[in-house]
């Protein structure tokens, strides 16, 4: 499936192929490219839960990353087929926390903890509407 899929364990899995443009002079994935992989996977995670950025934008809302912690455990290389796993760790009235892991097969390459908030069209944080929290929590 193009946008990935949600497994029976509740984790969303999104495939990513490493291209030349993702690598540095050594042939390893450049550290900032992992941010793109995580971002694409988060977007597809939201889409899989019925949350679409275009619809939110029409309502004057957007998600913003407030904080992100990344651990680079192993190097990924050109032509590697990776899988980005995304799962909800916590959702409150004001923010949600996602745990993301990039794997090559069973091997963890990189993992991140992402704290996101909802912003209005004036750039101010706003509380997550109950229906949005319900979609994010899967209930």
Whether residue 24 lies in the annotated active site: yes
Residues sharing a CB contact under 8 Å with residue 79, sequence separation 6 or more, in sequence order:
17, 18
User: Which of 9, 22, 24, 73 is flagged as catalytic?
Assistant: 24
Measured CA distances, 109 to 9, 34, 139 (Å) = 20, 10, 31
Tell me which residues are annotated as active site. 24
């Amino acid at each position: 499936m193009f946008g990935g899929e949600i497994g029976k364990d509740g984790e969303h899995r999104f495939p990513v192929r490493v291209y030349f443009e993702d690598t540095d002079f050594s042939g390893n994935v450049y550290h900032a490219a992992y941010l793109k992989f995580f971002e694409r996977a988060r977007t597809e995670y939201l889409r899989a839960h019925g949350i679409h950025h275009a619809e939110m934008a029409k309502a004057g809302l957007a998600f913003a990353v407030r904080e992100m912690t990344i651990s680079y455990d192993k190097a990924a290389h050109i032509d590697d087929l990776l899988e980005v796993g995304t799962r909800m760790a916590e959702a409150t009235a004001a923010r949600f926390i996602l745990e993301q892991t990039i794997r090559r097969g069973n091997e963890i390459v990189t993992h991140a903890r992402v704290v996101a908030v909802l912003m209005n069209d004036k750039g101010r944080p706003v509380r997550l509407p109950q229906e949005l929290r319900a979609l994010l929590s899967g209930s």
